[in-house]
A and B are shown apart, each in its own frame.
Chain A
Amino acid sequence: MNQKMLTDPNENVSGGNVNTLRPQPLGLYIHIPYCIHKCGYCDFNSHLIDQGEMGAYVDALLVEMDHYAQSHSSDREVQTLFLGGGTPTTLPIPQLVRILESAEKNFCFASNSEITFEANPATIGQNQLKSLRQAGYNRISVGVQSFNKTELTLLDRAHGVEEIHCTIDRARGAGFDNLSLDLIFAIPGQTLERWEDNLRLALDKNPQHLSTYNLTIEPETAFWKLQSRGKLTMPNEEHQLALYRRTLEVLESAGLRHYEISNFARPGRECRHNITYWQNGNSLGFGAGASSFLDGTRHKNINLPARYIKEINKQRTAVESQESLKPRRAMGESLMLGLRLLEGISIQQFEERFQTSFDQAFGDIVSSLQKKDLVTIEQNRLRLSEKGLFLADSVILEFIA
């Protein structure tokens, strides 16, 4: 594995030690909760499109952004913006442009900032893509999920195979040189060969970034109900493991670097926005159900778009819950997130952030995990071993208070 660091180890990403000379990095997330259709496996905060509501929703977003900008924009520099969903491209393009313009007006953006939007195949045309590129969006993440017709049907996706190719080609044509594709594996009935076909078809598109997600049946989803009625059977654990191993082989040999449990990228094209989450850095989330994390406090907005709009119109915020963790739990959370990255966590940064000795807090746990060959410590970084990668949750559990 290529062990080039994702970030300069000297750069403070934690927000703990304030460097007054430099503005602090900040990620912005904007949630568009609308979809043309809810897929069977989806447990995101997504709702069917509602033309009557969507205009008011964008207005509310801008109000919320304005509110937080007043208190948080002055000493921070936005490094990344991520427009996710739902399906952001269910909104009219001018609205997407308007959201970005408003963000840039309210916050101070770094010159090389990463500005991503998610798009589902068949929801966007060539000219619209061009407009978004011109407006300043410089990264597109396409929700492909599968290049196989049977699998798309099983996943309950609203698009076909042709539409995937078409959307990706259009994005390239519109000037998006930073392209990410999402794929799902461990779909019932998926053989190793069929999954490898999917990976090859994805690689043919020369993506800068690939996310491959092991299908997970989440409570209350349509798939959950099917499974509990015996109408859907997940591949067994051995097969899921084989699919995951194959993913690593195929993608790494194609020159993509495995940098997070489910994410791969050409060197330098890792998703900087998501890395902010895994490094437990500061981010502001706008929109229904969005989460923010600022200086140790996390808050989450109301999920339901209609209620979100109502609250914003009333008081400019729509926070549903908020938490500030005590140090021991916060440490557990930082490790939970940081160990998802293949480069692991910097022990030095951890100690600076929590003003504590890592060895004193976790030395026993680490040495027991080292003996089991589940983690390694090299160059003062704690990382999952290859064996530990497949058992990440069990390893992380050890660090949880």
Chain B
Amino acid sequence: MNQRRIRNFSIIAHIDHGKSTLADKLILATGGLQKREMKDQVLDSMDLERERGITIKAQTVRLQYQNDKGEKYTFNMIDTPGHVDFTYEVSRSLAACEGVLLVVDATQGIQAQTIANVNLAAKNNLAIIPVINKIDLPSANADSVKEQLEDILQIESDNAVLTSAKEGIGIHEVMEAVVKHIPHPIGDTEKPFKGLLFDSWYDSYRGVVVLIRVVEGSVQVGTRIHFMANSTEFVVEELGAFTPAPVRIQSLQAGEVGYLIAGIKQLDQTKIGDTITDASRPTEIPLPGYKEAKPMVFSGMYPITGDQYELLRDALKKLKLNDASFTYEPETSQALGFGFRCGFLGLLHMEIIRERLEREYSVDLLTTAPTVIYQIHSVDESTVLLDNPSKLKEIRNIDHMEEPYVLGTIIVPEEFIGTIMVLARERRGVQTKMEYLNPKTVLLQYELPFGEIVLDFYDQLKSSTKGYASFDYEFLDFRTSNLAKLDILLNGELVDALSVIVHKDKAYYQGRELAKKLKEKIPRQMFEVVIQAAIGSKVIARESIKALRKNVLAKCYGGDITRKRKLLEKQKAGKKKMKLVGKVEIPQEAFLAVLRTDGK
């Protein structure tokens, strides 16, 4: 294929600015799908994605476009996920492109993720076409967005396309702009095959499917390929492109994007960012690749009843096949028994895995409160990574502890500056930047302990700014902090799964709040339940849940029987979802109570 007629691009946007809708309309407009085949947001294939309105796995489609001059072009549109947890997936998609469509909501202007995404695109030297979307809305202000683009992001706004993806306005102009402003690929087709592996997933029928961007040379069905980082070899069984339906192709050439199937059985045999080459005629220099995404947030996942342990293990194994960024390993809790410590990219990622386990694998699950990873340095200068607060007691001779810090970017209307400052201070944040994007909108940056963010920061931020604040963060480094383990005792017995690492200055406050929250969340039992919060052997807060003394229905005659039984059966179903810790029945919400202790 003539590379001059290829355009490889991604769409990037802040959440809800209309990325998926635009992608759908481009597929429709190029005849990739007929209207009746279109489900809304076709690229968001998983149910969960559709429900939450976000994209989780990046997907790629090949579209055919004939421009106004009658020339035929091939567009490879590489979808990107729209949440901060999955930033690394955005960056790997961008590595396969020459340009991006930057979608900005005309009613909201630039948001935190807009900035993060533009920075990523700039790092990859990509052409940026601004798409100002939702111009049909009464509160749209395209001129103000153009100003922001120029002033804040230093992006030329003359090329900006005005669209309403929802109404189908400006779609044609977007496609013309793609042809005009995004450079075509320029790989040497004669050189040895060099391809970038930018995504892969496990298909239960076909094994691992790999998405590649051919950088140089070409690959054919039957070629023996070599994965340079993993040093493994496979024979190509099938090549093709998604239109969005998969279409087989005999060969992929420099500049092209497509999928590759080569009898790969396990997802970990493919490393995202790896360079693929021809085993018999290898390229000399691999592509730079990029950093692997490491789990940042950890939590324990336990079956409610012990007999579901095997089920949970199998489910985790299957999920892992499809999601290399998530990790799990067995752990044992005194309170909860046998379970797994799982690592996630962020809170949303955790929520998604949790929901999939319950929904797709029918595991009744108990999740402990999320924690970040801590570095524990001992006096002999060795370092241990701590992903479970309750394990802190096993580490001897601690010299000091470090916690991860992030750079948080917040964009808000200026009337919320005070609110943000208070919130950030409560979360131990240090302001590093404050800049007016326009007279009414401010960009604030804070260096924040990541541990403070996983505890409900985003919800707090949203609720205290009436939903106006946008937020994004990037990992900075580990910093020494004065940290302590806060323990919870129920009727005198330590419940390890409720332990959290807190900053010592906030320990008393958090201990009191946590005990109070637990009192709300744990239902009354037939005996008194005493809740204590302690640091080391020192009890810092105490609450008590009075014993249930009377619980008896006055009447039950002929007409009441069915109703009464159903009521009890419903109660029983709720009770079965509780975890018995010692003698105390604890519902899931109680294990996440720490997430809400800062709630006002």
Report which A residues bind B (CB closer than 8 A): 29, 31, 45, 213-216, 237-238, 240-241, 244, 261-262, 274, 277-278, 283, 285, 289-291, 293, 298, 300, 323, 329, 332-333, 336-337, 340, 372, 374, 389-394, 396-397, 400-401
Q: Residues of B contacting A298 with CB < 8 Å?
A: 561-562
Q: Residues of A contacting B571 with CB < 8 Å?
A: 397, 400
Q: Per-position contact with A for B545-583: 1 when CB-CB < 8 Å, else 0?
A: 000111111111111011011001101100100000000
Partner of A394 from B548, B554, B564, B569 at Cβ < 8 Å: B548
- Size bracket, chain B contacts: 20 to 34
Q: Residues of A contacting B137 with CB < 8 Å?
A: none
Given contacts A298-B561, A397-B568, A400-B568, contact A340 B548 (CB under 8 A): no
Partner of B562 from A285, A323, A389 at Cβ < 8 Å: A323
Q: Residues of A contacting B562 with CB < 8 Å?
A: 291, 298, 300, 323
* A241/B559 in contact, CB under 8 A: no
Report Cα–Cα, A196/B569, bound state, in Å: 36
Report Cα–Cα, A290/B554, bound state, in Å: 20
* B550/A390 in contact, CB under 8 A: yes
Query: Top 4 A-B pairs ranked by shortest CB distance?
Result: A392-B552, A214-B554, A213-B554, A241-B550
Q: Per-position contact with A for B208-242: 1 when CB-CB < 8 Å, else 0?
A: 00000000000000000000000000000000000
Q: Residues of B contacting A337 with CB < 8 Å?
A: 556, 561
Report Cα–Cα, A401/B526, bound state, in Å: 20
* A392/B553 in contact, CB under 8 A: yes
* A389/B552 in contact, CB under 8 A: yes
Q: Residues of B contacting A392 with CB < 8 Å?
A: 551-553
Partner of B572 from A277, A340, A400 at Cβ < 8 Å: A400
For the complex formed, measure the closest distance between the CB of B95 and the CB atoms of chain A, giving whole angstroms: 55
Report Cα–Cα, A213/B561, bound state, in Å: 17
* B550/A336 in contact, CB under 8 A: no
Report Cα–Cα, A390/B550, bound state, in Å: 5
Q: Residues of A contacting B555 with CB < 8 Å?
A: 213, 216, 262
Report Cα–Cα, A392/B555, bound state, in Å: 12
Q: For B552, give the chain A residue with the smallest CB separation.
A: A392
Q: Residues of A contacting B565 with CB < 8 Å?
A: 329, 332-333, 336, 400
Q: Residues of A contacting B575 with CB < 8 Å?
A: 397
Report Cα–Cα, A397/B575, bound state, in Å: 9
For the complex formed, measure the closest distance between the CB of A214 and the CB atoms of chain B, giving whole angstroms: 4
Q: For A392, give the chain B residue with the smallest CB separation.
A: B552
Given contacts A394-B526, A400-B568, A400-B569, contact A237 B549 (CB under 8 A): yes
With A291-B559, A393-B553 known, 19 other A-B pairs at CB within 8 A are A31-B559, A45-B559, A214-B552, A241-B549, A244-B550, A262-B554, A277-B556, A285-B559, A289-B559, A291-B558, A293-B558, A300-B559, A300-B562, A333-B561, A389-B552, A390-B551, A392-B551, A396-B568, A400-B568
* A391/B558 in contact, CB under 8 A: no
Could you give 5 example pairs across A and B, Cβ below 8 Å? A238-B549, A291-B558, A300-B559, A391-B526, A397-B571
* A216/B553 in contact, CB under 8 A: yes
* B554/A285 in contact, CB under 8 A: no
Q: Residues of B contacting A336 with CB < 8 Å?
A: 556, 561, 564-565, 568
Number of inter-chain CB pairs below 8 Å = 96
* A390/B552 in contact, CB under 8 A: yes
Q: Residues of A contacting B553 with CB < 8 Å?
A: 216, 261, 392-393
Report Cα–Cα, A290/B571, bound state, in Å: 25
Interface centre among A216, A336, A372 (most CB of B within 10 A): A336
* A401/B572 in contact, CB under 8 A: yes
Report Cα–Cα, A216/B552, bound state, in Å: 10
Partner of B554 from A216, A283, A391, A396 at Cβ < 8 Å: A216
Q: Residues of B contacting A261 with CB < 8 Å?
A: 552-554
Q: Residues of A contacting B559 with CB < 8 Å?
A: 31, 45, 285, 289-291, 300
Interface centre among B526, B548, B556, B571 (most CB of A within 10 A): B556
Q: Residues of A contacting B552 with CB < 8 Å?
A: 214, 261, 389-393
Given contacts A391-B551, A397-B575, contact A277 B558 (CB under 8 A): yes
Q: For B559, give the chain A residue with the smallest CB separation.
A: A291
Report Cα–Cα, A151/B76, bound state, in Å: 79
Q: For B565, give the chain A residue with the smallest CB separation.
A: A333
* B568/A393 in contact, CB under 8 A: yes
For the complex formed, measure the closest distance between the CB of B413 and the CB atoms of chain A, giving whole angstroms: 37
Report Cα–Cα, A300/B565, bound state, in Å: 14
Report Cα–Cα, A323/B562, bound state, in Å: 9
Report Cα–Cα, A291/B561, bound state, in Å: 9
For the complex formed, measure the closest distance between the CB of B524 and the CB atoms of chain A, giving whole angstroms: 10
Report Cα–Cα, A393/B548, bound state, in Å: 11
Given contacts A285-B559, A337-B561, contact A401 B569 (CB under 8 A): yes
